[in-house]
Structure 1
Amino acid sequence: MSRVEQSTKLDLERIVFIGRSFEEYLDMFSLSKEELEGKKILDCPAGACSFTAVGNKQDLDVTAADIAYYHSEEDLRNKGLQDIEHTMELMEKAQSNYIWDYFEDIEDLRKHRLSALKNCVNDMRESSERYVPVTLPSLPFKDAEFDILLSAHFLFMYADRLDYQFHIKTLNELLRVTKEEIRIFPLVDFEGKRYEHLDKLISYLADNGYTVEEVKVPYEFMANANSMLKIKKG
């Protein structure tokens, strides 16, 4: 199936194209740039995050994967601008659900989101090979192709739409393409509640020989979203 044929099957309106900054990623995943040097890294799903764009400018080896990348940069830029404004309107009404330490206020948050979108879309235009369209739970990569895989704001957040079997299938696929470890953030749904099947999922991973750890991180914007799951292979 060609990229054009595939894109007709994806409704851009169903994709929220908003991203976080490189600095947010380091804090969300409790990482330093030094820890990532010399590693092959996959960000999945990456959305409009600038982690790939900024990381590669800092000599890191980062690839981004997302269902959104079946669409053109221009369409994604326009969608991202709309999504940021829509999200900021909702944030005005729900400010009390968030902790305003990382960002000063909604205007500061808007600037960060716009900056991430700009960096992402510009890098897509300049280095399109880094942005791979995927439809989870399937990835077009080789076994153990990446050393580290980072996955933010997807799996557990959409627990109301993605069932436990989808989580297991997706995790197995993420583990297949990863050599060393996976980090997933956050561990809560959109209401800030811990993913209801998390303990069951951790037991499943442990039974299959993985080392799993819940780690508190130096990042909390949405209340209770301040932990990640670290899954180590071997």
Structure 2
Amino acid sequence: MPLLAAPPPRQLQPFRPRRAPAASVAPAPVVASVPFHGRSLMEYVRFFDLEIEALRGRDVLDVAAGPSSFTAEACARRIDAVAVDPMYRRPLADLTATVESDYARVEADTQARRRQIRVRDCEAVHPDLPDAMVFGSLTEALADRRLSAQRFLADFETHCPHGRYVGAALPFLPFFDRTFDLVLCAHLLFVEAARFDFEWHVAACRELVRVSDGEVRIHPLCGPEGRPYPKLPALRRELRAAGIASEVVAVNYEFFAGADTMLKLRRAPTAA
């Protein structure tokens, strides 16, 4: 795993506007509610296979970020990270209350699925991939995610007015084309696949690629029960027809059984 020590100060870069004019962005649709639940930079590094050193000074977008502390922790390491979530339109007090209610619900569900969880004190320990487990126990994992939410809430209060946290939802993001070097989206498209139809998935993927000047990474490619998204081949065909290349990549992390891959997207090379 890459070292996460803070680097020395770097030179300021010229200002580059990110936000698209309001008139050019379609209004965010009403979408089914998903749990407001997040994770730390440590988990992002593992399930997105990130190299922190390589991202310093780069523009990174975390989509459907929820109360993840990735953006707060990344910015502290001189990564120009921005987080997007429809819940960010709400005041801090509402977010704090939602963290408490949603975390209790997610934790109860995780305990009920204990047989699927790949931590060292659970039954689903992977015999061939011991390094794919970050946490020694389920209690440790849940506590880490609680800590992540607290980091998020503190950072949101300070930096939301500065544009670090943007209230928006897929498939409409309020950013110019090719704004970010890397775009991340975790635990939405395929974990919550039953909440959205196939057309939404196609539009969401195209929008993620639109705002990226490099690569999009999506994790995981299965639902919470571990079954792969059944329409992934059709989705990849639709994206290929739209000029978007895709690749399924294994990652050295698997919090629950089956969640050991990510989808990489980028604009397909054009013929000379």
Report how far residue 15 of structure 1 moved: 4.3
Aligned AA (1:158): E
Structure 1 residues not aligned, in runs of 5+: none
- Match status 1:59 vs 2:91: no
Report how far residue 92 of structure 1 moved: 2.3
> 2: CA distance between counterparts of 1:77 and 1:58?
25
The correspondence for 1:155, drawn from 189, 206, 219, is 189
Structure 2 residues not aligned, in runs of 5+: 1-21, 120-132
The correspondence for 1:122, drawn from 145, 154, 164, is 154
- Match status 1:30 vs 2:13: no
Report the equivalent of 2:175: 141
Tell me the number of residue pairs that the alignment of Structure 1 and Structure 2 aligns.
Answer: 227
Report how far residue 10 of structure 1 moved: 7.6
Report how far residue 184 of structure 1 moved: 0.4
Aligned AA (1:154): L
Asked if the contact 1:62–1:130 (Cα under 8 Å) also holds between the matched residues in 2, the reply is yes
Report the equivalent of 1:230: 264
> 2: CA distance between counterparts of 1:191 and 1:91?
11
**SS in structure 2 opposite 1:127?**
helix
Runs (4+) of structure 1 exceeding 4 A deviation are none
> 1: CA distance between counterparts of 2:100 and 2:135?
19
> 2: CA distance between counterparts of 1:182 and 1:50?
19
Provide the identity percentage: 33
Q: How does 1:188-203 map to 2 (within 5 A)?
A: 188-203=222-237
Asked if the contact 2:34–2:192 (Cα under 8 Å) also holds between the matched residues in 1, the reply is no
CA offsets, 1:70-127, max 9 Å, x none? 1112211221122222222222222001111322223212211111101111111111
Aligned AA (2:226): G
> 2: CA distance between counterparts of 1:171 and 1:112?
29
- Match status 1:169 vs 2:203: yes
Aligned AA (1:124): F
> 2: CA distance between counterparts of 1:111 and 1:28?
19
Q: How does 1:13-92 map to 2 (within 5 A)?
A: 14-92=33-111
Which shows bigger deviation, 100-109 or 192-201? 100-109
> 2: CA distance between counterparts of 1:149 and 1:165?
20
Report how far residue 153 of structure 1 moved: 0.2
Aligned AA (1:160): A
Asked if the contact 1:19–1:47 (Cα under 8 Å) also holds between the matched residues in 2, the reply is yes
How high is the TM-score relative to the length of structure 1?
Answer: 0.91
Report the equivalent of 2:129: none
